[in-house]
Structure 1
Amino acid sequence: MKKLYIICNSHLDPVWLWNLSCGRSAWINTVHSVVRMMDEIPELKFTCSTAAQYRWIEETDPGLFRKIAALVEQGRWEITGGWEVQSDAVIARPETLVRQALHGKEYFRRKFGVEVTTAYCVDSFGHGADLPKILKETGFTHYVCLRMHDLPPLFTWKADDGSGVTVLRINSSYGTGGVTLAWLDDFLQEHVKSPLERQAMFFGVGDHGGGLSRIQLRWLQEAREKYDIVFSTLQEYFRDVADLPLPTVTGELGPVFRGCYTSCHEVKRKIARATRRLIAAEKLGVPAAELDSAWKDLLFFHFHDSLPGTSTRPVYERDVFPGLGGVESTADRLIDREMHRRGAALDTRFMGQGGVLCRNPHPEEHNAILAHTGFADPNGTGRYFNALRDESGKEYPLQILPPPSTFGPAGMAWGVLTAVVKLPAWSSRSFAYAYAEKEYPALGFAVQRALLDKLSFEVYFDDTHSWGFGLEKFSSLSGRAERIRTEEYVNGPVCSILRSEWKYGESGITLDLIRYAGIPETGVRIRLDWHEIKCALKLVCRHGLQKPEFLTGSGVTASRRLTGSSYDEVISCDWRHGKLCSRYPGSGEYSMIDWCAACSESASFAVYAPDIHSCDHADNMLRITLARPILYADHAPFPPDDYYGWTEQGVSERRLWLAELGPVSPEELPGMAAARLVNAESCEITAHEPGRDLYPVRDLPPVQIRPALLEAYRFNEDGDCEIHVRNPRGEAVEITLPEPAGKQTIPPRSLKIITWRPKENAQSKVHAS
């Protein structure tokens, strides 16, 4: 007789249609209900993920927490998942998924003595192709999930580096909240017809907690007279199917709900910045304990209804945005503290009127953009600063850019003091504000004018709601924005800005194309004053390449969305400009993390963007989705309500970089994007003698990891050095770390976490798949 394993659970989104306080209350109520029922029914077992929700119980009801611990020890309450929350698994950066595991698994080890090896993400909107690498590297062997294309209920999911996990695809749903007896009968009959001898059924009231239904439990007990049904844990189920031959699946499990790549840009912007600031603070040696709470908050708001943009407006305004603001503020404060502590130790008397301290966070030389709002002429001499000068006397041009305000304190000259300086790897340098006699030539606008001719804005009709139900590509063109004015806004030796104004309907767009001296990419600043709804706004890049590959950043490596062979067959023709023109296949809408590119044999065109996650390639154009105005939490087929308004209305900003390149290997693009998106840290300092009574500053030892990429580098909770490295290349690379870690080999297309005790202490610890 075929066997059915009942996995009792109670799915609860901590925030979604309800705020965080409501989610906490619902979870506490759910746990009380489940524990009572388990006391009444000794054979009942319960499976539960999400470290953040266990913490709620620990912090509010220690007696209830002890009951959970006792059930865990008895083998009846199963801790699964091992993450802080059930995160988004498509546009979340790989480093944040690594941190989900590091924080979540450490908590479960410390509080329950449990090593979680089954990852659990049953409600996220797709699963990235590199996720098996991340799961394997952080100690998982199995993965339980839902929401993907039609795949077997059990399979081995492999990434391109060979990493694999056993996947259980939930057959119907993670919960049975609305299930009737007739539905249960039908499910059991289908179970008998299935070729799989052992199946898992997820059972329990869910989608807002609730525990288990007594009526449904009675139905199950009655069905056991006819079927082989057992209450089980996931660990027990995986043990019983361990010997089954399983098919192998590769690639992304999705895409699902492509609209989520763009919905509510503000949450994506805040998460991107908060992530980079925490990583920057770690590189400056900030102790892990000082960042622990901020990391947990950041990981919490990667939840699969927060980052994708599908929660209600009150949830974002009351919980998500304030929470992420706290993360940013914590990281910024600690970065400032560490920079100024370093500044206090310097002899900066060569700075007659102050200057700048900067630190390169890259393991290679870096052209850093320094920009600080301040006095152009602090002593009223009638002469503006026009250079930075280091202690040896070497000069760099300095340019005063327009500030955010139209005036300075007491009406004095005020602006953004801007320079580009070349910094050696892992170095700190200080520069004085100075006056140069040399005249540096202005950059001009030739590059921007040539690029501007390749750019446009297109608007597509979109009524696919918050999630993008049924969305595969934006194909119904509503119109194009009209360029109404172009202005040479700023021109100097450090920076030139070509500004253009665009009009569409009741909306306006300001496009700034920004060139910096010594930096090959062109900065793009887009100010939207948007008042359209039910549409998607795209920045269109006519790169002019012949049959290029279309690639996106998607985790550890690049994802090929269109290859050269995709162009071998013309799919349709259009009548355009008085003649019949061929149309080649478009990619459809795809997710991106940090970059996307079109690459041909002779040239490439790339976009680097830290908080834009949606793009496509069609009609031989690279198109970046900038905005998708939606009603908050608008879910078909339920009637819409515009009381809380639409996202993306009014003034907002997008920042990105455009790179026109020669022939580039896709393996190079992740590093090129990272080098431009992560700038040096800097702060203004004054002239002074070296301080005598100083705070200790602990610097991480330099490492040599190129051509591998540095994801994170920190002193971890044990005081050890810990480095996260990824190798997007198709061959292994060797890196050199301080002893005792020494030389390490990073396998092809892989992610690796390495820890070591610095200096004379115990030998290195290496976490390797």
Structure 2
Amino acid sequence: MILLANAKKLHMIGNAHLDPVWLWQWQEGYAEIKATFRSALDRMNEFPDFVFTCAGAAYYKWIEENAPEMFEEIRARVREGRWVIVGGWWIQPDCNIPSGESFARHSLYSQRYFHEKFSVMAKVGYNVDSFGHHGMLPQILKKSGMDYYVFMRPDAREKQLESNLFWWESADGSRVLTFRIPFSYNNWYRHTADNPTKDKAKAVMALEEKHGHGYMNFYGVGNHGGGPTIANLKSIQELQREFGDGRVVMSSPNAYFEEVEKSSSGLPVLREDLQHHASGCYSAHSETKALNRRAENRLLTAEKFSALAYRLLGLEYPHRQIRRGWENVMFNHFHDIMGGCSIKEAYQDARESYGESLNLAAVSLNAALQKISWSIDTMKEGVEGLSKDKHWALWEQQDFGSPVVVFNPVSREVNAPIQINKLVKGVTDEQGNPLAFQQVRGSRTNGRNDKYDTLFMANVPALGYRVYWIYIEKEFAAAQSERSLSADAFSLENDWYRLEIEPHTGYIAKLIDKANDVEVFRGKAAVPIVIDEYHCDTWAHHVFEFRNEIAKFSDAEVRVMENGPLRAKLRVTSRYNRSILRQDIILYRDQPDIEIKVKLDWREEHKMLKLSFPVNVQNPKATYEIPYGFIERPANGEEEPGQTWLDVSGTLPGRGDQMYGLALLNDSKYSFDFLDNDLRMTVARGAIFADHYGMRDEWCEFMDQGIQEFGYGLVPHYGHLRDSGVCHKAQQFNVPPIHIVETYHRGTLPQTLTGIRISAENVTVTVFKKAEEGSDYILRCYEAAGMECEAMLELPLLNRKWTARFGRSEIKTFRIPEDTEQDIAEVNLLEMPEDV
């Protein structure tokens, strides 16, 4: 036996990396999880010192439902302390693409599940195979009962760290003790290793001696499950005989972190995100990413209005349906699904489960909205009963009009376009004030006039609703606006901007900010650039920049689609090879910013499409939205993940220190880069399904082929980013108002209602829902501009008004009892007291 002075302790972590989906579908993953858990239990019977570590609440739920006897065995081993639950999340997700609230839901549902079934909650965040880790995770972990984090990617080749053991700190100051796994999370070490288990353990022991602290060494067959084998455990016994069982211990991440935390005061502190690995995964498989954004937003909207309908009218809150919807979404966050690197068949499965979530949310949302709209008093004097004598589609009687209830899901008042699939001659608000409107083309082609819609602008209170009235024949003289709007063959202009299109290419030739006398772009913008990525596998392993430009879309056709009093639209259609890009560029009379709706027919293989926007500022800085926060990243051209907005700001040329910027909004994209002044958004990748540098042949299947539709917005702003309101603009862009065409009925509700008021512009609400247990309500907000503030929050429907202090980038969750005599409590993401 070898005895070392000041020997460290090597913690051997028996685990099974379980990809429920990757080169197989979830049904195969389901079976493999059962077999792997059975194997782990067998090893416990054979080796009394063996400790097994496993994450993923979804896996435990599968076992509970399909193998209840084995579930009881696991519960016994958890009580014994030999089966250690880590992770605290539904699965091991991609840690860049899900929204901030999605990460909160992983914690909420999973930790509460573990507590209910096993009387424990995970202490260690655990994402050993995820491809990158956003910088707000420490706060989310801490507010979920997890003080520690373990990961493997990016590895030492991809990101140099001062130490594999360090404090990781998010922008609000939250810290978790974090460990990067060396070499691998499973048995693999080197192809030349005689005994990988022993050889890797000795290599990790050498790292311990080099760095002066204990390490974890993970072992077990992984990816397709398997876990620790008999051979693994016998090898560990040999190591214990060689070095002493006090030097090499069968352990868990919990035990490891508890030990090293005792001497952690001198460890380095990392204040940034953990990137990069597999940069191609931020853009691979556009459809799944778009479905994810849509499902996240619809579930949150359904929760908000279900809570309102419960409070106002006693409608049963759809706890079960909402939870089922979130469980599907969380499962599809798995890093090989969300990262776009699974097999083609897996994406049919993802499509189906997202469809279920979207439908569950739609049914719950519709029930709530219809309950509210049906309870609004819309009766007019002279109406004795409902009868469709005047119009086949509307219930209008005489010239009384028909009510349209417009609901606003976001926490700020909005002024937004509402498009009604009816052609009418008059529109008013609930007070009878005439509004301007315009006729626009609908999506249908039914008869001579039934193909047209009516567009008007609605000003709707925060998290509330407002009734507008449309009239089949009655006309009104709307007040004349002092604002201007015009369109010609190649330009759009309103009071804020003049936008010019280059005819033969379809690019934006100029965008002039009229109020600030600024030319927003330095060169052509909205340029569709084709990138060659033949050298990339699906993940784009070891590729961090996509700059091999081979072509641009051109051969453009530009047409004026709309030129009305409220909205003007140019349709720009350009081509490359067999691919067609259609961009509808929109300006409104009554609101700034530019909206673009895109329809892309992508027919390219081994190619990527980016849209380029060269911003006309000096010393530019790029700020990316990340889940529940934002981060500034260098202008080095590397592909970076982002959420609903990305901003480039700097000083104006020749104007001293005057700040200016451009924010780019999107409704379904997650991959961007920025070099010099050029901001680019990745919109499609013609990569091969699940190609890990495989032997390519003529039978390969390519993703992103065919039609996809998405939207983006351009928000130029004078001054600092923190004053631009970009967070609220992006929220409204992703979650627009919803309307219901109603009829006459008496009701208890007024024709306008405000759901929330917030005094601080930099605080935004993401969640309003019923609590997971009890009759309380949950309100979640976060500080979105990086500035400490005090905010007054008011929920008129609950008769509640209170003040809260927000730190920089702080997430706050409030538990609000129905009984106004009871105090509002600040709780963690699990809806439990913060000290739990």
Structure-2-length-normalised TM-score: 0.83
- The letter of the residue matching 2:778 is E
Distance in 2 separating the partners of 1:79 and 1:502: 53
Alpha-carbon offset, residue 170 of structure 1: 0.8
1:91 and 2:93 are equivalent in the alignment: no
1:296 and 2:296 are equivalent in the alignment: no
Distance in 2 separating the partners of 1:30 and 1:711: 38
Q: Deviations over 1:165-214 (max 9, x none)?
A: 00111112111168854333432332343233422111111101113211
Q: Relative to structure 2, which stretch is displaced further, 118-127 or 465-474?
A: 465-474
2:647 maps to which residue?
597
Identity of aligned residues (%): 27
CA contact (8 A) 2:16 2:221 kept: yes
Q: Deviations over 1:237-290 (max 9, x none)?
A: 112212223221220111221111111111110000100011111111343343
Taking structure 1 as reference, are residues 741 and 238 closer, same or farther at Cα in structure 2, changes over 3 Å only? farther
1:360 maps to which residue?
408
Distance in 1 separating the partners of 2:723 and 2:429: 36
1:150 and 2:160 are equivalent in the alignment: yes
Alpha-carbon offset, residue 550 of structure 1: 1.7
CA contact (8 A) 1:14 1:24 kept: yes
Distance in 2 separating the partners of 1:185 and 1:116: 29
1:189 maps to which residue?
202
**How do 1:534-683 residues align onto structure 2 when only pairs under 5 Å count?**
534-562=606-634, 586-601=636-651, 602-636=659-693, 638-640=694-696, 643=699, 645-666=701-722, 668-683=724-739
1:271 and 2:284 are equivalent in the alignment: no
Distance in 2 separating the partners of 1:342 and 1:672: 25
2:485 maps to which residue?
443
- The letter of the residue matching 2:680 is R
2:783 maps to which residue?
727
SS at the partner of 1:285?
helix
2:363 maps to which residue?
333
Q: Relative to structure 2, which stretch is displaced further, 194-203 or 183-192?
A: 183-192
Alpha-carbon offset, residue 699 of structure 1: 10
Match of 1:524 among 596, 604, 608: 596
1:576 maps to which residue?
none
Alpha-carbon offset, residue 222 of structure 1: 1.6
Taking structure 1 as reference, are residues 339 and 517 closer, same or farther at Cα in structure 2, changes over 3 Å only? farther
Structure 2, gaps ≥5 residues long: 1-6, 308-316, 381-395, 502-507, 510-524, 652-658, 829-833
1:476 maps to which residue?
548
Q: Relative to structure 2, which stretch is displaced further, 6-15 or 755-764?
A: 755-764
**How do 1:54-73 residues align onto structure 2 when only pairs under 5 Å count?**
54-73=60-79
CA contact (8 A) 2:598 2:711 kept: yes
Distance in 2 separating the partners of 1:84 and 1:184: 29
2:470 maps to which residue?
433
Distance in 2 separating the partners of 1:669 and 1:430: 27
SS at the partner of 2:347?
helix
1:492 maps to which residue?
564
How many pairs are equivalent? Answer: 730
1:413 and 2:411 are equivalent in the alignment: no
Distance in 2 separating the partners of 1:711 and 1:204: 40
2:231 maps to which residue?
215
Q: Deviations over 1:615-637 (max 9, x none)?
A: 1223522211111111111112x
Distance in 1 separating the partners of 2:754 and 2:365: 13
Taking structure 1 as reference, are residues 620 and 678 closer, same or farther at Cα in structure 2, changes over 3 Å only? closer
Q: Relative to structure 2, which stretch is displaced further, 138-147 or 665-674?
A: 665-674
CA contact (8 A) 1:157 1:249 kept: yes
1:166 maps to which residue?
177
2:254 maps to which residue?
235
Match of 1:689 among 723, 745, 764: 745
CA contact (8 A) 1:557 1:667 kept: no
- The letter of the residue matching 1:59 is E
Distance in 2 separating the partners of 1:700 and 1:391: 18
Match of 1:459 among 530, 539, 551: 530
Distance in 2 separating the partners of 1:761 and 1:703: 22
1:380 maps to which residue?
none
Alpha-carbon offset, residue 664 of structure 1: 3.0
Taking structure 1 as reference, are residues 450 and 544 closer, same or farther at Cα in structure 2, changes over 3 Å only? farther
Any runs of at least 4 consecutive aligned residues in structure 1 with deviations exceeding 6 A, and if so which?
439-442, 698-701
CA contact (8 A) 1:595 1:673 kept: no
- The letter of the residue matching 1:97 is F
Distance in 2 separating the partners of 1:716 and 1:699: 21
CA contact (8 A) 2:462 2:756 kept: no
SS at the partner of 2:203?
helix
1:390 maps to which residue?
429
CA contact (8 A) 1:548 1:600 kept: yes
Distance in 1 separating the partners of 2:189 and 2:32: 18
CA contact (8 A) 2:667 2:710 kept: no
1:312 maps to which residue?
343
CA contact (8 A) 1:486 1:500 kept: yes
Distance in 2 separating the partners of 1:182 and 1:35: 24
1:743 maps to which residue?
803
- The letter of the residue matching 2:462 is A
SS at the partner of 1:306?
helix
**How do 1:105-144 residues align onto structure 2 when only pairs under 5 Å count?**
105-144=111-150
Distance in 2 separating the partners of 1:17 and 1:357: 47
Taking structure 1 as reference, are residues 102 and 609 closer, same or farther at Cα in structure 2, changes over 3 Å only? same
- The letter of the residue matching 2:279 is R
CA contact (8 A) 1:354 1:684 kept: no
